[in-house]
A and B are shown apart, each in its own frame.
Chain A
């Protein structure tokens, strides 16, 4: 949050960025209602660990600071607590906008190394392959997404937790739980991806 804005001299502005966010991010059009009161940033449980709180991020979007916005850790540190959403006096769906920015940051190649991006990749793999989240497999894939050594290190750091969950029957071991109609589910997701790509490319449905 309290971080200073980046140096102005070398900064590139994309004056169409705000319009792009309004048009392409879910709930983005409502961002136009933001009056910079800061209730969102003040309500955020983890705002102190964000490069910029939501209020400042929204101002940066309006200023056209595309690079800085899409490279920010703000959306990756959002815990989806929805406190900003229920408190915003202008009904701006802040959490949803951050989620949309996260999706676009990944698409546009700004975020592949972020924890959440790597976790999300493992998560979606499980959702798409099995139709369900196998928490153990997703966590393991996430741990090892930074490489073998990092994976082993993370695994060992949380070994005690894993063992306690196994002991209490809360870490599923063995073949992942699956939906019966995986073919149907995957066809739906592929079709949805296809529609979204079509919409993003500007062709109307």
Chain B
């Protein structure tokens, strides 16, 4: 790391004001400790998530990211950072598409012109995990750990869109593989926890289909929980807002449907880091915002 914090334009995304406030809160808490300065993107809007194109159409959906990119460009040349998988997928994907496709860039700029905005396509959009891997590094995480999570068994569940389809691309930071990424395990171990063997690292939680029609996807979430239980994990850790919510909130319905007895806490990696960095369990790690709480982790956290 270089001297002084590295500045980013931070795009928190809509879930930061709803289902994933605990990701936003813990990420903002640990960022300075990791040497990252997060300056919130001014007046950011929704990225369109997985369904914006359906009703809105392709170009209007692209224009949503176009507006965020134009806003970020006004804010400065620093990279955009986001902790949300869907925000990353859409914003990064649109950005790279606009860079390559001059006709699309012209069209998006024509739409942005309706609000006197434009985008020159000279920014980078990065996922917080990729930044932590490539710019911060495991050693820097270890240096910050004052409260190692000794004895905590963590199942590292990456999910889909954090690494697919951009994880292993040049523009996506070349930081991990699609099917067996290691970074989450490395984060957990750097925090002093034990990363357990966990196969469905990039299995799908059903995404927005789980929000709409969980009857179609409860079995997918069950497979993730089965593997975590088999590995005797105390908690599942994930970077993705939708994975966190889906895998956490449907455990009762899964238990009812399949006769299981899951009660496994699903945490964000940044919550683990906040606890390991000796930060406040509530104010920084937001451990009180999990619907299934981890007594073990809360017992380790500073009160």
A residues contacting B by CB (< 8 A) are 26, 45-46, 49, 77-83, 85-87, 95, 99-100, 102-103, 106-107, 115-117, 119-121, 123-128, 131-136, 139, 142, 160-161, 164-165, 167-172, 177, 179-181, 183-185, 187-193, 195-196, 199, 205
B residues contacting A by CB (< 8 A) are 14-15, 17-22, 43-46, 48-60, 62-64, 66-67, 103, 106-108, 110-117, 160-161, 164-165, 168, 178, 202-204, 206-213, 216-217, 220, 245, 249-250, 252, 288-291
**With a CB–CB cut-off of 8 A, which chain B residues contact A115?**
212-213
Majority DSSP secondary structure for residues of B touching A: helix
Partner of A192, one of B111, B117, B252, B289: B111
Q: A119-B211, A188-B67, A192-B111 are in contact. List 19 more A-B contacts (CB 8 A).
A: A46-B209, A78-B209, A79-B160, A80-B160, A82-B164, A106-B55, A115-B213, A121-B55, A123-B55, A124-B52, A124-B54, A126-B46, A135-B14, A164-B249, A168-B288, A170-B21, A187-B115, A188-B117, A196-B60
| Interchain CA distance A102-B168 in the complex, whole Å | 27
Q: Chain A's nearest CB lies how many Å from the CB of B71?
A: 9
Once A160-B252, A184-B115, A187-B115 are accepted as A-B contacts, the answer to whether A81 and B207 lie under 8 Å apart by CB is: yes
| Interchain CA distance A195-B49 in the complex, whole Å | 22
**With a CB–CB cut-off of 8 A, which chain B residues contact A179?**
43-45
Instruction: Name the residue of chain B whose CB is nearest to the CB of A117.
Output: B54
Partner of A86, one of B19, B55, B106, B165: B165
Partner of B220, one of A46, A106, A124: A46
The answer to whether B18 and A135 have CB atoms under 8 Å apart is: yes
| Interchain CA distance A165-B22 in the complex, whole Å | 12
The answer to whether B115 and A45 have CB atoms under 8 Å apart is: no
Instruction: Name the residue of chain B whose CB is nearest to the CB of A184.
Output: B115
Q: Chain B's nearest CB lies how many Å from the CB of A190?
A: 7
The answer to whether B54 and A80 have CB atoms under 8 Å apart is: no
**With a CB–CB cut-off of 8 A, which chain A residues contact B108?**
192
Instruction: Name the residue of chain B whose CB is nearest to the CB of A193.
Output: B60
**With a CB–CB cut-off of 8 A, which chain A residues contact B46?**
126-127, 131-133
**With a CB–CB cut-off of 8 A, which chain A residues contact B55?**
106, 117, 120-121, 123-125
